[in-house]
Amino acid sequence: MIPVSGFDGARVAVLGLGRSGLSSARALRAGGADVICWDDSPLARAAAEAEDFALADLGRDGALDGVARLIVSPGIPHLYPAPNRVVAAAYVAGVPVDNDIGLFFRSFATAGWAAFDQPPRVIAVTGSNGKSTTSALIHHILCESGRDAQLAGNIGRGVLDIDPPRDGGAVVLELSSYQTELARALTPDIAVFTNLSADHLDRHAGLGGYFAAKRRLFAEGGPDRAVIGVDEAEGRFLANQLSEAPADDRVIRVSSGAKLTGPGWQVFARKGFLAEYRKGRQAGSIDLRPIRGLPGAHNHQNACAAYAACRAMGLAPRVIEGAMHSFPGLPHRSQIVAEAGGVAFVNDSKATNVDSALKALLAFDRVRWICGGLEKEGGLAALKPGLANVLKAYVIGREAEGFALQLDGVEAEVCTTMERAVARAHEEAQAGETVLLAPAAASFDQYDNFEQRGDDFAARVRAAIGSGQ
């Protein structure tokens, strides 16, 4: 645990008692704070009571009197589409609002670091797509190289649940826009921006607000090194804002598909090959094609970002390459769950939006595509470049017929259920083809979350292969 500093004897309120909320409450108490908690869910309140935390309805008049700080869980809106009633009351009362990420950055460094030969470092990763894989890959590479590393944030452990770092240790954080937007302290040593595509627009009042939330990690934090994906205009803007000159190597530009030139520091992938250039000269290269845990151009972008972050940590190119070959990939993200009869079955349930589903389709040839679910705003037109790889679509979800009608030029079978979709795809697939779950939609019409959907796909695949149906 990282005890929270700066609130010894102070009264601090915690709103939302999920993983991050309870973690914040424990870390605040460990740092000497007088903690009061609230969640609208009776089950969540019971969990806090079981740990002897005091409960108080923070929305009642006077509940925030004497409170030094309100700590808010990521899922609770603090501005758009409208502030939560407790957050709104804190604004009126002048109570500062923060989250667990802000508490982490204000408490991570301690006086004990003076005895370390090398101070611990924090690598923070944000962006729309690929940040989980990028974070996990950085962590994997650091561990394989012998570094003491921990993975936390949106992946791994809660940020305040990690162990106090040892001499020369590293913490890799995956941070969402919900977390970066509200945190009052953001001071990573290395910050990574993967890419930007439309998502969570209601929470941020549009794409500009969404990008602004991501940008805070760099503008507020002032990292020593910034790794910036420049395949979108927002990334190019951000890299330009952080650079003082063309040769400024505090910014490492990253691309998947475009050759980057100039006197600065660049890492890019083209046709499956990663290349690193610094001061106009090539400094490293990796053939990414045989790395099974990183299939497709979107994962090559993740590989470039992770490579750049690890190079900024001082690792050699050959060390990074060796670690990449042993990276198993993440569940529900281009995860090969089975192979039978020359057919690969790939679980990309995390492809909950059109952009991530398109990248999954482009990663494989001859695809039998399982798609559908709770459709997001914007329609499916942006999928068109990837539809040429689709042999047939097997559509699931309560609105499967409407989803199928939007897949122009693609043979589509309305299956509704995962069981039916997997059975039909398995029955029709031939050697050399890929059965791919990349829904391009949320899971909530049939599942609690994308993980449950991916697990169902994997279970149905195993059943189909085992029965030989």
Per the annotation, binding residues are 127-133
**CA 313 to CA 122: how far, in whole Å?**
10
The secondary element (H helix, E strand) that includes residue 392 is strand 390-396
Report which residue type is found at 45.
Answer: R
**CA 54 to CA 37: how far, in whole Å?**
6
**CA 90 to CA 96: how far, in whole Å?**
7
**CA 41 to CA 343: how far, in whole Å?**
45
DSSP labels for 400-412? HHHHHHT-TTS-E
Report which residue type is found at 281.
Answer: R
- The number of CA neighbours under 13 Å toward the Cβ of 83 is 15
**CA 379 to CA 364: how far, in whole Å?**
23
Q: Is the separation of the CB atoms in 40 and 142 below 8 Å? A: no
Cα–Cα distances in angstroms (integers) from residue 326 to residues 269, 290, 293, 322, 358, in the given order: 19, 11, 8, 7, 26
**Residue among 359, 414, 421, 410 nearest 388 (CA):** 410
Query: Which positions make up the binding site for ATP?
Result: 127-133
**Quick count: other Cβ atoms within 10 Å of Cβ 409?**
9
**CA 227 to CA 312: how far, in whole Å?**
9
- The number of CA neighbours under 13 Å toward the Cβ of 325 is 8
Give 333's contacts (C-beta < 8 A, 6+ positions apart).
132, 133, 348, 350
**Residue among 314, 308, 318 nearest 277 (CA):** 308
The secondary element (H helix, E strand) that includes residue 149 is strand 149-153
